[in-house]
Amino acid sequence: MEEANFQSEIPFSESVSNKRIQSACQLIGVKTVHRILGIALFWLGGNRQKICEFLNIPMGTFFSFLNRFQRDGLKALEDQRESAGKLKSSHAISQNLELIFGERKVVIKIPPDMNRLIIDPSNVVQFKTLILSFMSSGFLSVKEVSEQLGISERHVRDLNKNLLADDVEALLDKRRGQQMEYAFNESVKAEIIQQFVVNLVNRRSTVSSKITQQVNEACQTSLSERAMRQHLSKLGLHKIKESLPKLLEDVKKSSKP
C-alpha cells in the first residue's frame, strides 16, 4: 500500500481522534503532540500553510521545527527550554561545593531543598566577607558584588585585595572601632576588671550580660552586651577564671601564721 492512498484505505473517526489526541496531550504535552502531528502531515504531503492553520502554529515556528528535525531527529520533538532546565537542574543537584582552605578541603553536599544560605542582616562583615569570597572563586562578578554592596567596582576590587592581604580585619569599619575604644575609656575598663574580679571571688556570674549591667550602672554608660563581650575577650579576663581563685586561696594560706 502506498502512503498516498492511506485516506481511502484507513477509516477515520473524528470523535476517536479527539479522544486520542487529548489523551496524548495529557501524557506528553500539547506542543509535542502538535509537533508529531505536524511532521506526520508534512510527510504525508500536506500543505505547510494549511498544516499551520490546522494546528494553530505560526508558520515561522513550524519551519524552524522542520529544520531542527532534519538536523537533530527525534530530539527536536522535545521542548528545548524544558530539556535545558532539566539538564541544568540535574547538573546542579549532582554538584557538591568544595571549600578549599590551604591544604584542607571540605566537601559540602547541597541537597536540592537546601540551596539557601541565610545571614542575619546585622552581620554586615560576614555578608561582605562571604560575597567577596564568592567573587574571588568566580561565582559572582565584580559588577554583581558592586550592586549588592552599593559601592563602586573599583572599591570592590580594593576591598577584595585588602581581604586577601589582611583577612577580615580589612573589612571592619575603622571609625566604628575608634568610637568603641572611645566609649571604653580607662575608667570603664577599670570598672570592668573590678566587677569581673569581685564577681569571680564571690562566686557570682561573670557572663557578659551581668558585667554589662553592673558597669553601665556604675559608670552611667549604655554599653552593649556585644561590645562588652568583645572587650572581655580583649582583656583576657576569662583566662583567669580558674587561676585567680586558686591564686588568691594560695595567698591566704601563705599569709596565715
Q: pLDDT of 123-143, one tens digit each?
A: 788 888 888 888 888 888 888
Residues 248 and 206 in one domain: yes
Q: How far apart are CA 11 and CA 8, in angstroms?
A: 7
Residues 153 and 209 in one domain: no
pLDDT at 94 over 50: no
Residues 155 and 193 in one domain: no
Q: How far apart are CA 17 and CA 126, in angstroms?
A: 63
Q: Which helix (H) or strand (E) holds 99?
A: strand 97-101
Distances (CA, A) of 47 to 40, 89, 195, 225: 12, 39, 95, 81
Last residue within a domain, chosen from 82, 111, 141: 82
User: Which residue segment(s) compose the domain that 185 sits in?
Assistant: 181-255
pLDDT of residue 180: 53
- In one-letter notation, the amino acid at residue 255 is S
Residues 68 and 132 in one domain: no
Residues 166 and 191 in one domain: no
- Confirm whether 36 is domain-assigned: yes
Residue-averaged pLDDT of the chain: 78
Has this prediction a pTM greater than 0.75? Answer: no
Last residue within a domain, chosen from 82, 111, 137: 82
- Confirm whether 78 is domain-assigned: yes
Residues 161 and 189 in one domain: no
- Confirm whether 7 is domain-assigned: yes
Residues 162 and 187 in one domain: no
Specify the number of domains making up the chain. 3
pLDDT at 187 over 80: yes
